[in-house]
Amino acid sequence: QVISDFDMTLSRFGCNGRRCPTSHNILDTSRVISEDGKKKLKDLLHYYYPIEIDPNRTLEEKCPLMVEWWTKAHELLVQQKIHRSDIAQIVRESEAMLRDGFKEFFDQLHKNNVPLFIFSAGVGDILEEIIRQANVFYSNVNVVSNYMDFSDDGVLTHFKGPLIHTYNKNNTVLQGTGYFQQLSTRTSIILLGDSMGDLTMADGVPNVENILKIGFLNDKVGVR
């Protein structure tokens, strides 16, 4: 089985010298967010992102701060009264791009019946739409991410739990999903990610015999 992060792993980090957006960025900078909302979301990013990537802070220090960041960001998004019907258009208008070779990758996994498990701290509704619009949302693809919950008339009311951030992408948020138990015969894993938090994504997989971990070094290459 393949276990992969989404943002900056399956999606591109940059193109022609410009950064490509993450699933959160796509929403945060879209036309459905007010100017005030955009400013507040950007302020959160400038405060918390340096903490997320600080090599001198421990996980114990980072985790509660990541929960704080995601919770505040989700609350801001809820205030924007986002409509479910806007999501496809938001993605279409964005500069989201999947990595070179994505079609071959998704096609081969599907053709050979290899499960692809996408584990993302991003926004599930957005990343699913990216995959759908790329025509590669096959039956072997499963996603665990932060999903929106909408009212009967299609307005965002809250995000469903449990909250997934950069540093809890492991079996603590998978308990009860039973996902890996269904795949207990899949004892060889390719794990793809772009942050240290992604290293634990296969924790909780039973009977692992072989695991190949591949990291994408996108940013601050000299420092890291």
SS (H, E, C) 5-34: CCCCCCECCEECCEECCCHHHHHHCCCCCC
> Which amino acid, residue 126?
I
- The rounded distance, in Å, linking the Cα atoms of 216 and 188 is 20
pLDDT at 26: 95
Per-residue pLDDT at 180 exceeds 90: no
Q: What rounded mean pLDDT belongs to the chain?
A: 94
Residue of 7, 28, 125, 198 marked catalytic:
7
- Nearest Cα to 44, choosing from 56, 52, 33, 32? 52
Q: Which helix (H) or strand (E) holds 219?
A: none
Residue of 5, 28, 125, 198 marked catalytic:
5
Q: Are 122 and 6 in contact (CB under 8 A)?
A: yes
- The rounded distance, in Å, linking the Cα atoms of 105 and 103 is 5
pLDDT at 170: 85
Question: Is 5 annotated as catalytic?
Answer: yes
Beta-carbon neighbour count of residue 5 at 10 Å?
Answer: 25
Question: Which pLDDT tens digit goes with each residue over 63-111?
Answer: 999 999 999 999 999 999 999 999 999 999 999 999 999 999 999 999 9
Pairing type for strands 148-150 and 2-4 reads unpaired
Question: Is 7 annotated as catalytic?
Answer: yes
Question: Which pLDDT tens digit goes with each residue over 14-26?
Answer: 999 899 999 999 9
Structural domains in the chain plus CATH codes = 2-215 (3.40.50.1000)
Question: Which pLDDT tens digit goes with each residue over 20-69?
Answer: 999 999 999 999 999 999 999 999 999 999 999 888 999 999 999 999 99
